[in-house]
Amino acid sequence: MVKNRFFASRYLFIALTFTSVLILSSCVSRLRRPEITGVIVDYDKNPILNCKVGEVLTDKDGRFKLVEERYNAFFLTEMFAMEAPPLMVTEMIEKKGFEKDVISIHSSRGGGRKKGAKYKIDTIFLKKVNQTFDVSALLKSSDWKLGFNKNADTIYLVKNGFREWCKTDRCSPFYSEYQALTDNYYYGGKNLPEGMIRRIVDVEFDAEKSPLKIKMVCEYHSTFDGPNRPPDTTITKGSYRVLSNSKMILDAGNIKQLSGNYNISEVDLFQMKLTRER
């Protein structure tokens, strides 16, 4: 009887050990990087040959392809984690004569995507070192959105289509700063006047009947208890003048806090930053 118990215990021990080894050695495939494809061009939409993207070079058409990368994770570790791991991808973009850039992909549970994951980034515009712009022509090329801080000594201008143009880390911080000046509700900023949650400003340079047209819509906190203030809209006309491609004189009509002399402290294809002269 004792002998039978001994053998039973021994077989149980062996079975448990085998099962544990099997579980620990079992792996699940996780995503380190999806397949990434895209095209690199300059600001004149000319493809850039031999631009380094991650570990590959672009072809004559500016195209690149980064292959999917995966890794194996222990099943037991993943089981206790109870959810797919995050995905964090960073790939450098480098070409002599151009500013460096970065492709970033972040997803809180993206590491759980199945084999065959793809990320198509379409077109990336690479900026030349010391790239120059005709500011007047740039302003007239499209309508813009505007954000400004409480003292109106800093203005952020974002051209319509910015989100379709901006695919990389070089331009995305600018948009975050712009959002912080326009939306207290979603982006947690404290840059708007007390009680205001959102301020959207649309600007047309060289509008049909005026050198400058501005439409500003302000939204305010609303509660069930009230009293609530409805949104207000200001539409005004004004004028502007660009001096030596580096300064702007702005007459913002009825939005008087925006009128003044500004330095054009930053400019890119879809963005511009103005700082008031002191």
The dihedral through the CA atoms of 152, 236, 161, 269 has a sign that is negative
pLDDT for res 109: 86
Position 166 scores a pLDDT of: 94
Amino acid 28: pLDDT: 82
Residues 6+ positions from 171 with CB-CB distance below 8 Å: 162, 165, 268, 270, 271
- List, for the chain, all residue ranges whose pLDDT scores fall below the cut of 70: 1-26, 74-82, 226-227
Contact status, residue 245 vs residue 264, Cβ threshold 8 Å: yes
pLDDT at position 137 is: 95
Number of residues in the chain: 278
Query: Which amino acid type is present at position 3?
Result: K
The whole-angstrom separation of Cα 76 and Cα 147 is 50
pLDDT of residue 5: 56
List the one residue out of 138, 136, 144, 154 whose CA is nearest residue 43.
138
- pTM of the entire structure? 0.82
